[in-house]
Structure 1
Amino acid sequence: MGQVMGFNADAAGFQSARDMVTQMAESESAQLAGMARFMASQGLDARLRARDWTGFARRYNGPSYWKNAYDVKLKSAFEKFSSGISRDLRARAAQGRCCFWATTRATRTACWARTRAAPSRRFAPMRTWRPAMRWMTRCSRPS
């Protein structure tokens, strides 16, 4: 996820820096939407579509982008993630499905924990969920 400075709140589609922080603290969706609006307002979206990593890095990070090799890191990340969906994204998608399929908090919690523990086995029998439930007691539960 990218970062947007408070003085760019208007360019990111928010009324103020405070409004931006409030909305972005509420959800990943708000963070992503704000970042997308900011990139579009700065013409960065076109640079990404053109895979102009140097142009994007120079505009987003400033003229000293090269000191931290931001363009190289962007290209590397694009190549890594464009080669196929990662395991983490499959787990996130499965967790999203759990929120829609589960009808009770207990079912939703079990489903959420199960996908975190073993995202590649989406529909395993309930007996495989027990270790995941132990994991869940150490972490925050979905609402």
Structure 2
Amino acid sequence: HKESLFSYYYRLCELDDMVCYPWVAQVFSGFTLQELKGYVDELMALDKPVPATYYEGDVVKNLDVNPPKIFTGQKELYNKLMENGIEVYVMTAASEELVRMVASDPKYGYNVKPQNVIGVSLLLKDPKSGELTTARKQITA
């Protein structure tokens, strides 16, 4: 059995969140934000669970992982707050860039300003210049 990234992440989290959280950020190494956005949109468009495997001890188990879904009530709340002049922020323990790809994309209806999504941020490297930056710095530039 070839272990998936999903399974390995679960095993690292069983050890400690301080092990799996930094590791999961590295999973995206080498991808551009545009490539990741394509994968996020594909995932959001799924209408059925994704089959996956994980280890329980030494035994490989099967499971179905439900894709993320838009919460209509949350979307309505965000928009009503903004209509009434209240600034909406999203704070997340997940990858800030990935959450922003949904929360700030008008097609998903949350309409949160990109700079108002705050979470675990990836260090980005320009492949041509080698310059280091973050998505947050690019938003405010």
Whose radius of gyration is greater, 1 or 2?
Answer: 1
- Give the TM-score normalised by the residue count of structure 1: 0.27
Which structure is higher in RCO with an 8 Å CA cutoff and minimum separation 6?
2
As a proportion of its length, which structure holds more strand? Answer: 2
As a proportion of its length, which structure holds more helix? Answer: 1
